């Protein structure tokens, strides 16, 4: 029991935080797509990203506008700092995470500009 329980807890905590990280990645990707779509149509892409992100706290939004050249694409790049809720977060510093146990999730949305 003393050998198996820590391994089972590590597996359980990993599944919980991986599921949360995957959900945040999917939400961030959808928000980046929505922002790129709004930017391509000449609307405010940042506002669309913020509203589409929902509960995910977006830390940075980079928007590349279409301009007068309609051959360029509207590009929106979004990132957030993900913080695990289980003790697995303290192990993430060994695998490239920050000292507080968080890591950065990024997403990019690209849409062709409409004329």
Using one digit for the tens of pLDDT, what is the confidence trace for 39-82? 988 889 999 999 999 898 898 999 988 877 666 889 999 999 98
Domain 3-112 -> CATH class: alpha beta
> Which of 87, 91, 98 has its CA nearest to residue 59?
98
Map out the domains of the chain as residue ranges: 3-112
The stretch 10-39 carries a mean pLDDT of 94
pLDDT at position 115, please? 64
User: Is the pTM of the predicted complex or chain greater than 0.75?
Assistant: yes
Which of the residue ranges 1-5, 80-84, 94-98 would you say has the lowest mean pLDDT? Answer: 94-98
For 56, the token pair is 């995910």
Helix axes 4-40, 45-53, angle to 10 degrees: 150
């Amino acid at each position: 029991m003393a050998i198996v329980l820590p391994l089972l807890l590590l597996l359980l905590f990993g599944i919980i935080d991986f599921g949360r990280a995957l959900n945040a990645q999917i939400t961030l990707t959808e928000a980046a797509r929505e922002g790129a779509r709004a930017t391509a149509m000449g609307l405010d892409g940042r506002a669309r990203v913020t509203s589409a992100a929902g509960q995910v706290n977006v830390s940075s939004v980079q928007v590349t506008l279409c301009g007068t050249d309609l051959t360029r694409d509207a590009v929106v790049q979004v990132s957030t700092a993900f913080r695990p809720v289980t003790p697995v977060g303290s192990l993430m510093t060994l695998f490239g995470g920050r000292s507080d146990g968080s890591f950065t999730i990024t997403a990019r949305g690209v849409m062709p500009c409409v004329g």
